[in-house]
Structure 1
Amino acid sequence: MNVSEPEHQELPELDGSVSPPVRKLRWKWGLGILLLGIAAIIYRWFQLAPDRTYQVFSVYSGTLYLLIGMLIWWMLISGVAWKMRFKGLLGTVLLFGLFFALFRVESFEGDMVPRFRFRFLPTSEQRAEQYFEQIENSAPAANVELTEQTLEVSPDDWPAFRGAERDGVVRDQTIRTDWKQNPPELLWKHPVGAGWGSFCVIGDRAFTQEQRGEQETVVCYDVLSGEQIWTHADPVRFSETLGGVGPRATPTFQDGLLFTMGGTGILNCLNAGTGERVWSHDLLKEGGLKNLEWGMAGSPLIWEDLVIVNQGIQKSESKAENQSLIAFDRLSGEKVWSGGTRKSSYSSPQFVVLNETSQVLVFHSKGLESFAPQDGTSLWFFPWTNQAGINAAQAIVVDDRSLFLGTGYGKGSTRLRINPSENSDAKVTQGWKSQSMKLKFNSAVQRDGFVFGLDEGVLTCLNLETGKRNWKRGRYGYGQILLVGSHLLILAEDGHIELVKADPEQYEQVAEFQAIEGQTWNHPALVRGKLFVRNSEEAACYELKPVSK
């Protein structure tokens, strides 16, 4: 048997060096991680997040996990040379560094989407400081002029948060609606200090609260010119990353006095004519309380001789006594009563009469509670809250025995029936409930059996009898609404204003214009045909009276 000799194989010549193995990019692993991460973000957006804020947060967390996964793939699995891996990592870090060297996070929108601005541009606070420096010398003369003036409220004034009835309804006023032919007339516009409160307007004076540097300031402006008349300052500053800078509440006027709540819990009673302090309380310091996460936001309520306000949060859960509300004599500032055991939130106390009983309603962190205004006794409580425990919208009185209540963060709305205690074992019973009308930090208005509001930024009409949604149209962000006759006046989050018919049958936009620039969460005020708007950057006043023919 012949055995063939093995085939001769030539060996490579050795030149003293060995060629490195060829590395191949394992791109399939990277693509798989990328697609899986994107799919997880989309799934969480549509299936797990109860509202837009949680959807945005799901994108943040999902993107973080995706970046971590891509980093692990690039550094440990990609298969490219180590030198290339470190170059890629360094390049990514430099790219992010360059972006944040050029841009800063100016603020966050209502759904927590960041707003970026070039770093070389001045901040809104810096622009406001430049404006204040220009007008600094004009204020003293105005103070002298006002020392003998006494302000009195009239039915046409706007003495409190969302108007005299605190319901966002403008009564006995007509405005022009043909804005294309007769656009709103700008009376004045200028920078203001940061803050999310609205205007209180009495006669020819408009009052609001602003953060000016390290001074929390109450400011009085002239209605027609927008000129500053007087200021009162407290050496405090509230600032929070997501919620921004400045006070959150709106001044309240009563009998020549102005009552203000600051972001850090300073309650002031001021002479509305001069700005001089009558009395003051630092609620958090005096009560041994801590601030709410996004600051004290409840506007003072006046009931007879009392000023009633929210309190802060107890530092220890075991001592949660008399923490919800506190009342002071509005003339002397002496404490009259405090009551409630539930954690405060961001709504304002409101006075209502239900079943012929005077009550003060407060939307706490856990639900809606009613108090006797005379002594602070709790009358009833209805749990209605969300995962975040954040309630900011105002309840709406539907009739003398029922209320509408809505909140955001995926919860929705409900109608409550308040029963006379002698006729029912349950003081509060629930009618319908709906996933619609998720009111975050904006309140709704009602007209002819229907409620209109911004459901996660989209204008929605809801039937108050059935709880069924009639329509949902138009995106306005987390803006605010007034009801003016048969129209809704909507101040959107981007500062533009729209006029929409308050029609339960269909959505119909009538007119629109850009009123102010910048992120706008503040409530508008309408007084004698003059529209007052502001945000944390600027304020303006527009004439909306019908044009005489």
Structure 2
Amino acid sequence: MNPARTLVVALLLGSSAAAAEPAVWPQWRGPTRDGAVTGSAWPETLEGDALKPIWRIEKLGPSYSGPIVTRDRVFTTQTVDKKTEVVSAHDRKTGKELWKTSWDGSITVPFFAAKNGSWIRSTPAFDGKVLFVAGIKDLLVALDGDTGKELWRLDFVQEFGTPPPDFGFVCSPLVDDTGVYVQAGGSFVKVDKKTGKVLWRALKDGGGTMGSAFSSPVLARIAGTDQVVVQTRTKLAGVDRGTGKELWTKEIPSFRGMNILTPVPVGDDGIFTSTYGGNTRLLRVTSEGGKYDTRDAWGLKYEGNMTTPVVVADHAYVLGKDKRLVCVNLKTGKEAWGTDERFGDYWSMVANGDKILALDSRGLLYLLKADAKEFDLIGKRKVSDSETWAHLAVCGDEIFIRDLNGLTAWRWSGK
């Protein structure tokens, strides 16, 4: 495992003894922030009793935030009456509401994004005690995980004098032992997790007419140095997490800055990404004498969109702008295969061993074999009548799915 991601796991799980605790989902894309989980092998089917609902919460306001799952509770967000953002905690076993808190927060997103709704977008992060929630109007709020009490809030519009983002606060917070990292206020920012004070601000672009970038940062060890990797609206960059110094940057072309998916560290010096209106590529980052060099290992004429890929055994599984699923060989940059079938606009994917669970935005759950030779669909099941844009959470034998109208906990048998 990448050392930087190992740090995140240790922070979020608390101690080695936590391995015996129920599996958790504390942040965007899971414990290691790469859409991968470990544990018992998954079932070979999604049909019948292999996957059963445990409980469901109805009549929630819409949200794109993925559920956050701790050892004993589940956090979710919603936008109510197009004017209020609500965060609630629920008992993991029963779904019973434990607490709820709210604040004013709503915008109307422009252009083509309007068809997907104007509600909270970012997935919160939980460090074992505090839940960090990004409100759509460029607001970061810290809540006590036990009580829901607000500990602090940071309004980036007021802090930096930047305009509210046209598409809202989309980036999902990244938390380490010292702070919270977000793309907000037309920049990349580190915030003190205890006080809400800005520790440093990097990659400033003022936000422009569109506002801050959409992509979420990751911790990685690249070219022998621990750093934060982040994709802005125009470039991919490595930033020193202590000082905010830009270690290296690489221009990444895309249509109107539609760099949406999260970059994926590969090996010791590689970063995989794909952009809307650009291409799919693997960037190599090297360092000699403190001087960084960036170059494309390869480029593939295929446009990613919103779906962050999962990587299994030197292959990336990518759902692109054309709604096909494509398997890309990370060593050669060649397309191993691509489906003829078109899927929904968005997938959230989780991998375990040689299997991939994929939640389609149309409310369909797919179970795939991660096969570099061919598309191997093992199972398919309708899990929601409403759209499912939030990232699914997979915790051992439990699956948590947030659709636009509610939240459902499922359990599969393992048989």
Instruction: Please indicate, yes or no, whether the TM-score normalized by the shorter chain is above 0.5.
Output: yes
Which of these residues, 164, 173, 176, is aligned with residue 291 of structure 1?
164
User: What's the offset of the Cα at 1:228?
Assistant: 1.7
Q: Does structure 1 residue 329 correspond to structure 2 residue 192?
A: yes
> Which deviations, in whole Å up to 9, do the C-alpha atoms of 1:79-117 show, x marking residues without a partner?
xxxxxxxxxxxxxxxxxxxxxxxxxxxxxxxxxxxxxxx
Q: Which amino acid aligns with 1:498?
A: Y
User: What's the offset of the Cα at 1:484?
Assistant: 2.2
Q: 1:286 to 1:396 in 2, by over 3 A?
A: same
2:39 touches 2:396 (CA, 8 Å); kept in 1? no
2:49 touches 2:412 (CA, 8 Å); kept in 1? no
Write the distance in 1 (CA, Å) between the matches of 2:410 and 2:304: 27
> Which deviations, in whole Å up to 9, do the C-alpha atoms of 1:336-355 show, x marking residues without a partner?
11122245310112111112
Residue of structure 2 equivalent to 1:247: 120
Which of these residues, 33, 37, 44, is aligned with residue 166 of structure 1?
33
TM-score by length of 1: 0.67
Write the distance in 2 (CA, Å) between the matches of 1:276 and 1:498: 38
Q: Which amino acid aligns with 2:102?
A: A
SS at 2:196 equivalent: coil
Residue of structure 2 equivalent to 1:339: 202
Q: Does structure 1 residue 443 correspond to structure 2 residue 316?
A: no
Q: Name which of structure 1's ranges 454-463 and 538-547 shifts more when overlaid on structure 2.
A: 538-547
SS at 1:289 equivalent: coil
1:176 touches 1:182 (CA, 8 Å); kept in 2? no
5+ unaligned residues in a row in structure 1: which ranges? 1-150, 314-323
2:36 touches 2:310 (CA, 8 Å); kept in 1? yes
User: What's the offset of the Cα at 1:520?
Assistant: 2.3
Q: Which amino acid aligns with 1:447?
A: V
User: What's the offset of the Cα at 1:492?
Assistant: 0.8
Q: 1:346 to 1:431 in 2, by over 3 A?
A: same
Q: 1:520 to 1:181 in 2, by over 3 A?
A: closer
1:516 touches 1:539 (CA, 8 Å); kept in 2? no
User: What's the offset of the Cα at 1:234?
Assistant: 0.7
Residue of structure 1 equivalent to 2:5: none
Write the distance in 2 (CA, Å) between the matches of 1:279 and 1:366: 31
Matches within 5 A, 1:139-154: 154=18
Residue of structure 1 equivalent to 2:402: 534
The structure whose residues are more often helix, as a share, is 1
Q: Which amino acid aligns with 1:408?
A: Y
> Which deviations, in whole Å up to 9, do the C-alpha atoms of 1:300-343 show, x marking residues without a partner?
11122111111133xxxxxxxxxx22222111222211122245
Matches within 5 A, 1:107-186: 154-155=18-19, 156-180=23-47, 182-186=49-53
User: What's the offset of the Cα at 1:505?
Assistant: 0.5
SS at 1:429 equivalent: strand
Matches within 5 A, 1:317-466: 324-342=187-205, 343=207, 344-409=212-277, 411-422=278-289, 427-436=293-302, 438-456=303-321, 457-466=323-332
2:140 touches 2:155 (CA, 8 Å); kept in 1? yes
SS at 2:287 equivalent: coil
Which of these residues, 242, 246, 269, is aligned with residue 142 of structure 2?
269
Write the distance in 2 (CA, Å) between the matches of 1:481 and 1:293: 27
Write the distance in 1 (CA, Å) between the matches of 2:106 and 2:74: 22
Write the distance in 1 (CA, Å) between the matches of 2:183 and 2:292: 26
Q: Does structure 1 residue 196 correspond to structure 2 residue 68?
A: no
Which of the pair has more CA radius of gyration? 1
User: What's the offset of the Cα at 1:175?
Assistant: 2.5
Matches within 5 A, 1:42-57: none
Residue of structure 2 equivalent to 1:504: 372
2:74 touches 2:90 (CA, 8 Å); kept in 1? yes
The structure whose residues are more often strand, as a share, is 2
Write the distance in 1 (CA, Å) between the matches of 2:343 and 2:92: 27
User: What's the offset of the Cα at 1:152?
Assistant: 6.2
SS at 2:159 equivalent: helix
Write the distance in 2 (CA, Å) between the matches of 1:513 and 1:183: 11
> Which deviations, in whole Å up to 9, do the C-alpha atoms of 1:107-148 show, x marking residues without a partner?
xxxxxxxxxxxxxxxxxxxxxxxxxxxxxxxxxxxxxxxxxx
Write the distance in 2 (CA, Å) between the matches of 1:173 and 1:357: 33
SS at 1:290 equivalent: coil
Quote the RMSD (CA, aligned, Å).
1.8
SS at 1:388 equivalent: helix
Residue of structure 2 equivalent to 1:218: 87
Write the distance in 1 (CA, Å) between the matches of 2:217 and 2:244: 12
User: What's the offset of the Cα at 1:426?
Assistant: 5.4
Q: 1:173 to 1:276 in 2, by over 3 A?
A: farther
Residue of structure 1 equivalent to 2:99: 230
Paired-residue identity, %: 25
> Which deviations, in whole Å up to 9, do the C-alpha atoms of 1:198-251 show, x marking residues without a partner?
011111211122111222111112222222211110112233233412111111
Write the distance in 2 (CA, Å) between the matches of 1:163 and 1:199: 10
Residue of structure 2 equivalent to 1:76: none
SS at 2:157 equivalent: helix
User: What's the offset of the Cα at 1:181?
Assistant: 5.5
Write the distance in 1 (CA, Å) between the matches of 2:352 and 2:383: 18
